[in-house]
Amino acid sequence: YSKYYDIINDLRSKILAATIDNSRIVLQIDNARLAADDFRLKFENELALRQSVEADINGLRKVLDELTMSRGDLELQIESLAEELAYLKKNHEEELQVARSSATGQVNVEMDAAPGIDLTKILNDMRADYEVMAEKNRREAEAQFAQKSNELKKEISVGVEQVQTTKSEISDLRRTLQGLEIELQSQLAMKKSLEDTLAETEGRFGGQLQQLQNVISGLEEQLIQIRQDMERQSNEYRELLDIKNRLEMEIETYRRLLEGELGQFSQGSSSSSSASKGASSSVSNSQVSSSSTTKSQTSSIDSKKDPTKTRKVKTIVEEVVDGK
């Protein structure tokens, strides 16, 4: 039955190879899953960074809006100050005209009083102060606006570059993720196909393997039965051989006894001279042989029944002469 062992070994090697391939595919799937998890983690980190950059950009936009509103407020203040300055100029001119018209009457009034307040000088000083203040506020507003604008432009340019870099990285990660998903699907399909093939192989060869195992079990049972039969027959053969040896020994013993008796009988018959005595002697010899054989068989049977007893055989020779 060596051919069955070859088939069994072949099937075992195929099952082992399929198991190794299945383990290798499972390992590849695990590696692909880990790589996909790593790329997913990187994608989430990049997405969080992108959201942070977008939040910074939104904050900078709010700052830009605030600066725009501050600029508008400063422009309104400048306009109001300009209007106030124009109003002050107009009032000053009107007061000058009134003063000039009053001075045309040439009225000389000498009064012992404190010197009057020079309104023109006061107005000029106020105008100069307002102009200096307005120019200072304008310059400060322009400088602050320019500084904030430059900072905002720099931050916007950096944010735009980061956004572009993030977009390119996200695109690369998306393509990589799609490739990994495609590879994962192909590996899963290959795994499913190999599992189906393995199940089909196990189902196809499982019945044959079970049949071979049943055949082997039956042959082993037959071999055990044959061994038992051989042992039983060997025991019987030994018993029969023992019986044969004992019978041969007994036959040899009785043969020796018979040879001794025949020798004695031949000495007694040599004294007779007639042919009838020879014939009767032959008959008697035949009878003696027959009787001896019967007695020897009886003795053999008795010795088998009780091997401790010894049976002595006594031979009686009777001569018959002329029927008397």
User: What is the count of structural domains for the chain?
Assistant: 1
Residues 6 or more apart whose CB falls under 8 angstroms from that of 69 comprise: none
Give dist(CA 138, CA 79) in Å, integer: 11
225-261 pLDDT, tens digit per residue, is: 989 999 999 999 999 999 999 999 999 999 888 888 7
CA 8, 221, 229 angle in degrees (round to 5)?
140
Joined together, the tokens standing for residue 43 give 């994608």
Distances (CA, A) of 225 to 1, 33, 133, 176, 220: 18, 59, 128, 70, 9
Give dist(CA 70, CA 142) in Å, integer: 11
CA-closest candidate to residue 25, choices 179, 182, 184, 180:
184
Looking at 168-277, which runs of residues are DSSP E strands?
none
> What angle, 0 to 180 degrees and rounded to 10, lies between the N-to-C axes of helices 275-305 and 119-269?
150
Torsion sign (Cα): 235, 240, 245, 246: positive
Number of CB atoms found within 10 A of residue 288's CB: 19
> Domain of 133: which CATH number?
1.10.287.2610
Give dist(CA 281, CA 288) in Å, integer: 10
Note the pTM of the prediction, 2 decimals: 0.29
- Identity at 82, one-letter amino acid code: A
1-42 pLDDT, tens digit per residue, is: 677 778 778 888 888 888 888 888 888 888 888 888 888 888
**Residue 30 forms part of a structural domain:** yes
Residues 6 or more apart whose CB falls under 8 angstroms from that of 178 comprise: none
Residue of 273 and 226 predicted with greater confidence? 226
Give dist(CA 140, CA 148) in Å, integer: 12
- Identity at 221, one-letter amino acid code: E
35-68 pLDDT, tens digit per residue, is: 888 888 888 888 888 888 888 888 888 888 888 8
Q: Rounded mean pLDDT of the chain?
A: 73
- Identity at 124, one-letter amino acid code: N
**Residue 172 forms part of a structural domain:** yes
Give dist(CA 106, CA 100) in Å, integer: 11
Torsion sign (Cα): 117, 121, 127, 129: negative
CA-closest candidate to residue 168, choices 180, 156, 158, 160:
160
**Residue 110 forms part of a structural domain:** no
- Segment among 98-102, 171-175, 208-212, 284-288 with least mean pLDDT: 284-288
**Residue 89 forms part of a structural domain:** yes
Joined together, the tokens standing for residue 122 give 């006061």
**Residue 262 forms part of a structural domain:** no
**Residue 203 forms part of a structural domain:** yes
Torsion sign (Cα): 153, 157, 162, 163: positive
Residue of 128 and 304 predicted with greater confidence? 128
**Residue 61 forms part of a structural domain:** yes
Question: Is pLDDT above 50 for 274?
Answer: no
**Residue 267 forms part of a structural domain:** no
Domain boundaries, position 181: 2-99+118-207
Give dist(CA 173, CA 195) in Å, integer: 32
Coil/strand/helix, residue 70: helix
